[in-house]
Amino acid sequence: MKKLLLLVGVAVGFILGSKMGRQPYERLAAQIRQLAGRPEVKGAVDTLSDKAADITDIAARAVNEKISDVTAAAKDASGSAARQEEQVADAVLDKELEGTFPTSDPPSSWAGPDIEPERPEGAA
């Protein structure tokens, strides 16, 4: 509905503007140029431009500081999360392997190629 109203407004403005010709536009442009040429308007524009530049600088510094803070926090969080994940994985692996490896001699099936495995007595 809003788009339809906008299109109708544009169409009406176009039709009225084209019927009136270029003269109203030229009058308005001349008035704006005359107003912009006044010293008090120039001074106000300069003052506002300076203040806008100052505000922009302040805002840019604030945004950069926040970005740095967030980036540092994200790096810390990802680093600690990675360390925690590694610790959990190690704990799970330790739990899974608990009791599977003997603390003394390995079984004979683990003997390397140059070591003869133990044979039960009476075997040929």
CB within 8 A of 108, min separation 6: which ones?
117, 118
CA distances for 68 relative to 55, 73, 79, 81, 82, angstroms: 20, 9, 16, 20, 21
Give the model confidence (pLDDT) of 53-66 as tens digits.
Answer: 999 999 999 999 99
Looking at the domain assignment, is residue 30 inside a domain?
yes
Q: CB–CB of 31/38 below 8 Å?
A: no
Domain that holds residue 39: 16-96
Q: Is residue 117 part of a domain?
A: no
**Domain contains 84:** yes
Residue 103 is assigned to a structural domain of this protein: no
Residue 65's alpha-carbon distances to 59, 72, 86, 103, in angstroms, are 10, 11, 31, 55
Domain contains 70 = yes
pLDDT digits (tens, 9 = 90+) for 68-86: 888 888 877 777 777 888 8
The total number of structural domains in the chain stands at 1
Helices 23-36 and 2-20: angle between axes, nearest 10 degrees = 100
pLDDT tens-digit map of 82-121:
788 888 888 887 777 776 665 555 555 555 556 565 666 7
Let me know if residue 59 belongs to a domain.
Answer: yes
pTM: 0.39
Helix 39-97, helix 23-36: angle, nearest 10? 90
